[in-house]
Amino acid sequence: MEQLEGRERRARWTIPILGALLIVGFVLSFGLGRYAVPPAEVVRILLHRVFPGGIEVTWEPNMEAAVVNVRMPRLLMACLVGCALSAAGAAYQGVFQNPMASPDVLGASNGACFGAALAIYFNATNQVTVLSAFAVSLLTVTLVYAIGERAPGKKIVNLVLAGIMISSIFSAGTSFIKLVADPTNQLPEITYWLMGSLSGVQWANLRFAVVPIVVSLVPLILLRWRMNVLTLGDDEARTMGVSARKLRLVVVVCASLATAACISVTGMIGWVGLVIPHLCRKLVGCDFRRLLPCSMLAGALFLLCVDDISRNLLSTEIPIGILTAFVGAPFFIYLIMEKER
């Protein structure tokens, strides 16, 4: 009982603290990079965009260009992607009642990789590559869900198995495209895309991703109390007046849509949807009414910090997918060991 009360008290403070840290980290991140911008000037530039006539211009034009045109869309995308992947991971773990579930459990990631690799192979533009990755990712999840619903037996197990099979097919397709791609131009571009990166994110990319991500996250937030019922099983959910099949479909569609939108713009970024929900579960418990908002804020803060490291650690930018694996895997091992103790 004392442990439960302590977790309740911690949960009330965790979400506001994460929100405050996210705001502070977001502002400070504007000043980091090859072209340094003092935090005071960052605040003045941002206020000037909101109140054009109320702030005196004391900064150089290059500073405003770096903050508004280069770093702002990138930082917003980092927060948006981290938020969406963490929410999708928490939702999948609740739906499949498996703490090892992640946003790519239904093959959305491998489908997006195949779509992007196919577009790059045919020398498509960046916009077409994003659309191709998004479309194939949704197609992959649709195939997985159709197979899982038609197969006899437990639906949850069928979905996981179908996800593994379809993912392997699209992964093989990606490998084949890499094999036949031009090793001078196409292969390096495909390889870099598969590593995941926020480099080169523009306002057009942000506008493309924000609509499906917001459309998918809003239902998850509104249905988060019902997601608690899914963890009890289908029979218990039915006795409480909740259709587990319909709720599972809505949650899977929303989580998959958010995952597809993220990966189509940024490439493969792993571990966020697996590690962050585990961390938040230790902080606020398993109640989705607190777990989902906590995961969204913590995921946004985590990816924002990792992106700052990728931009500033070395003279050349490190793909963010590599850093999330370096940070996420050891941290996940730590969480598992802590759980065992």
Q: What is the pLDDT confidence band of residue 69, given thresholds at 50, 70 and 90? A: confident
Instruction: Please tell me the distance from the alpha carbon of residue 201 to that of residue 183, in angstroms, as a whole number.
Output: 25
Q: What is the pLDDT confidence band of residue 299, given thresholds at 50, 70 and 90? A: very high
Q: What is the pLDDT of residue 110?
A: 92
Instruction: Please tell me the distance from the alpha carbon of residue 131 to that of residue 265, in angstroms, as a whole number.
Output: 9
Q: What is the pLDDT of residue 61?
A: 78
Query: Is residue 340 scored above 60 in pLDDT?
Result: no
Helices of type H across 181-239 = 186-195, 203-222, 224-230, 234-239
Q: What is the pLDDT of residue 180?
A: 95
Q: What is the pTM of this model?
A: 0.90
- Contact of 272 with 89, CB cutoff 8 Å: yes
Residue 16 DSSP label: H
Sign of CA dihedral 283, 286, 290, 294: positive
pLDDT tens digits, 208-257 = 999 999 999 999 999 888 888 877 666 676 777 777 778 888 998 999 99
Please compute the mean of the pLDDT values over residues 146-155 and round it to a whole number: 82
Query: Is residue 59 scored above 80 in pLDDT?
Result: no
Residue 323: left (phi > 0), alpha (psi -120 to 50), or beta? alpha
* Residue 233 CB-half CA count within 13 A: 4
177-194 residues labelled b (16+ CB within 10 A) or e (exposed): bbeebeeeebbebbeebb
Q: What is the pLDDT confidence band of residue 305, given thresholds at 50, 70 and 90? A: very high
2-340 to CATH, choices 3.40.50.300, 1.10.3370.10, 2.20.25.10, 1.10.3470.10: 1.10.3470.10
Greater confidence, 41 or 5?
41
Helix (H, G, I), strand (E, B) or coil at 230: helix
Q: What is the pLDDT confidence band of residue 338, given thresholds at 50, 70 and 90? A: low
pLDDT tens digits, 158-199 = 888 898 899 999 999 999 999 999 999 899 999 999 998 898
Which of these, 302, 320, 315, 312, lies nearest to 31 by C-alpha position? 312
Q: What token pair was written down for 327?
A: 């940070």
Query: Is residue 6 scored above 90 in pLDDT?
Result: no
- Contact of 254 with 217, CB cutoff 8 Å: yes
* Residue 46 CB-half CA count within 13 A: 16
